[in-house]
A and B are shown apart, each in its own frame.
Chain A
Amino acid sequence: MRRLVWLAFALSLAACGPFPRDPDRTEELVRESGTIRLGWVRGTAPEREAAQALAAVARATSARVERVPGDSETLLRDLADGRIDLVYGTFAMASPWAKEVHFGPAIGWRAAPPRNQPAARFAMRNGENRWIMTVEQAVRP
């Protein structure tokens, strides 16, 4: 019975404020600063759906997008360390980086491509579940 009371308490706490939340406050910081720091992997073609998703995320967070061009290794490291908020590039789900960061769904594909097939997608910092929700809701049709 005591466990159920604790669970009910946790559920009511969960109901207060945004849910899920980011452990490292990515979305809150985006809203506070009014800036989305986007790492853009050089050579990645700008898909129309990606541009639309970015515009939707910017609208939802009342922020503007600040592009940081670079190579994928540097940008993904910066993302994992929290220096940037988002990376756009061509990545395969089978990439070794899939453990370090979270790759969103493939952009411009009807069904999910094979795991070793590189596809344009956004990468987000692991565990920042609110931010991941916001970006992926914008990406999904």
Chain B
Amino acid sequence: MNQLPKEIRPEMARARRLEWWTLAGMGSVVAAMYFAMGSSQAMKTAFIEDLLGLVPAVTFLVAARLEPRPPTRKYPYGFVRVDSLAFMASAVVLAAVGAWLLFDGVSALAAGEHPTIGPVTIFGHTVWLGWIMLAALAWSVVVPVVLGRLKRPVASKLCDKVLHTDALMQKADWQTGLAGMAGVLGIGMGLWWADSAAAAAIALSILYDGARNIRTAAAELLDGMPRQLESAEISPDAERLKRRLEARWPDGHVRLRESGRYILANVGDTCPPGDLPPLEEWMGDDAGWRLAQLSFTPPGCARSDED
């Protein structure tokens, strides 16, 4: 389980390359936003979201480096679940920052703050800083649209939640860019509230993403059934595997859980049979590498749930 299955190694290498491109592309967006930020609340919120958008990319690269490490005396099961830990950490950060930005945006709206965007002199020409902001925000839309579209199919093949979260972050990033543009245009049109309202809307979407990811991460940490990438629903390949195992051992108590990108199955109250097909065969037409372990607990070897 510590060695990445052969079938997904090329996709993993592609995912790593995409994440390095993400760091470079989104890094350029963050730099552009920082220099053009001014006093716009929506722009500040969009900047923080873009900065946070780097977290899943960094956690993916760190987790991908740690995951194949061999087990140690202190970690005899290896580091496959480092992915889950990273996922939970990034989800909590996302939710916390979303809540703080929402408070900040709503407070500015309630206080009736009129955002000031003054002029700036570039190469001897004085222009409204709002135009520079709009250019930076437009760049913050283009980069994540491209990266997000490239990442989603790779995340799906790898069953990788961090990569999927990252693709979702990219979606949130370009939507944030558009909301930020609406905020700056609103200021330009004399609508002082447009900026804070756009900022609050962006913050609400960050908070929603964070809360949804916490729910999915908690399911894995609590040894819940394997979940879909797109939602907190049980993944269909896990449902099908459970049915196959229950058909083979109708008196056994079949339980599945997820460890990183892998499924671990246990058949309770059943002695290990002598002859078993290779693990891949239990997955039927689904990706064979997903099932990493099938274990059996003979009767009397575990406390029953009813005790």
A-to-B contact residues, CB < 8 Å: 3, 6-7, 10-11, 13-14, 19-25, 102, 104, 125-129, 132-133, 136-137, 140
Contact = CB atoms under 8 A, between A and B. Distances in A.
A19 B184 CA distance: 12
Contacts of A13: 189
Query: Which 6 pairs across A and B sit closest by C-beta, in order of nearness?
Result: A127-B114, A21-B190, A20-B188, A23-B192, A102-B116, A126-B114
A126 B113 CA distance: 8
Interface string B105-141: 0000000011111110100001010100000000000
A129 B185 contact: no
Given A7-B181, A20-B128, A136 B118 contact: yes
A102 B126 CA distance: 18
18 contacts: A3-B175, A3-B178, A7-B181, A10-B181, A10-B182, A14-B185, A20-B189, A20-B190, A23-B190, A23-B191, A23-B192, A127-B116, A128-B114, A128-B116, A129-B117, A132-B116, A136-B118, A140-B119
Given A136-B119, A136-B126, A137-B119, A23 B188 contact: no
Contact of B128 (A6, A133, A140): A133
Contact of A22 (B119, B121, B181, B190): B190
Nearest to A20: B188
Contact of B119 (A3, A126, A133): A133
B189 A7 contact: no
B192 A127 contact: yes
A20 B118 CA distance: 10
A57 to B, nearest CB: 13
Contacts, number: 72
A123 to B, nearest CB: 11
Contact of B126 (A23, A24, A140): A140
Contacts of B114: 23-24, 125-128
Contacts of B121: 140
B102 interface: no
B187 interface: yes
Interface of B: 113-119, 121, 126, 128, 130, 175, 178, 181-182, 185, 187-192
Given A127-B115, A132-B116, A136-B126, 15 more contacts: A7-B182, A10-B181, A10-B189, A14-B188, A19-B189, A20-B188, A21-B189, A21-B190, A22-B190, A25-B190, A126-B113, A126-B114, A137-B119, A140-B121, A140-B126
A3 B121 CA distance: 31
A102 B185 contact: no
B178 A129 contact: no
A42 to B, nearest CB: 26
Given A7-B178, A132-B119, A20 B126 contact: no
A102 B118 CA distance: 9
Contacts of A3: 175, 178
A132 B118 contact: yes
Nearest to B190: A21
Contacts of B126: 136-137, 140
Contacts of A21: 188-190
A127 B116 CA distance: 4
Contacts of B190: 20-23, 25
